[in-house]
Amino acid sequence: MVFSGVGKQLWEIDAALDANILLFNVESEAELHLLAARAEARRKIARFALRVNPDVFAETHPYISTGLSEHKFGIDIKAARAIYRAAKKSRWLDPTGVSVHIGSQIRKVDPFAAALARVTSLIADLRRDGHNIRYVDAGGGLGIDYGAGAFDPARQVEKYAAALTQGLGEESAHLLLEPGRFIVAQAGALLTRVLYVKKNGSKTFVITDAAMNDLIRPALYHAHHEIIPVRQPAGKSSPTGKTPGEIVVDVVGPVCESGDFFARDRALPAVKPNDLVVLLDAGAYGMSQTSNYNTRSRPAEVLVEGTSAKLVRRRETMQDLLAPELSGINN
């Protein structure tokens, strides 16, 4: 296990030390000082890697790009060598790795190679300084195709592996990867029911019972999710690829925010109230980013395997939402 994040709290650091995790991916000098103090207090050795910022540009949404010097993440790679040298003076710190993560939903693999090339150059310098660097954490970020086109995950992994190999060169450190989205994104979907179909001037809105609190990615990142009816319309597609009866709509939720949408100006088969539609590829950052905004309960989760389905998380009730509130004025 590795522990990343720019705002690690004291109790979290203590818990991770007690659990004897593999690495702390440290993001600032102040955090490293706190880690050393907590390791000494608990009489434990803290293995760490600095999360370096290689200043590599990755073509992704700016909210999920993390590898440039203007971002809050990591430590300037040019300053890292001096920080490792200072950390070596503490008997409670064990500098065992270097970490890098340049962003999320990255479709081109060249930035991964460029980032790792800079990291391996730093590792060579660190070894010359006497550090026993045994791990290189290349982070994650490999993207999937959220569109309707053909997507070959195996081919994408091949290209990713080739880029990592190129960046590592002859480096022999143990490689750590964090490929979460690539594994789980296509394993999840959001099922919702059409409430109304509404025309407003030239616009047509499909209003669903799901909202931005259930899947915030389109509102937050303008992320694209394919949306299809559960019951597919009869008839073959036209030569243009469009299904007969297709109309251009905005798919929106019931929350009182103009940003509460799943798609804008999207061509979809005609749907009517009470139809079920599904938003695909919601397995990554779908349920984990849900909220109770607008006093809405979060959706249930159903595990589907073959032809069987099992409820694994029930829908919240109004009682669940209100339970944390303290009602007594004398408390």
DSSP assignment, residue 71? S
Q: How many angstroms from the chain centroid is the CA of residue 213?
A: 16
Q: 265: helix, coil or strand?
A: strand
**Rg for the chain (alpha carbons), in Å?**
24
Transcribe 146-170 into DSSP letters: -SSS---HHHHHHHHHHHHHHHHTT
**Residue 243 CA: distances (Å) to CA of 247, 266, 267:** 9, 13, 9
3-state secondary structure 74-119: CEEHHHHHHHHHHHCCCCCEEEEEEECCCECCECCCHHHHHHHHHH
Q: What span, in angstroms and rounded, lies between the C-alpha atoms of 317 and 214? A: 15
Residues 6+ apart with CB under 8 A from 116: 100, 136, 138, 163, 164, 166, 167, 168
Q: Which of 256, 312, 318, 323 is catalytic?
A: 256
Whether residue 11 lies in the annotated active site: no
Active site residues: 256
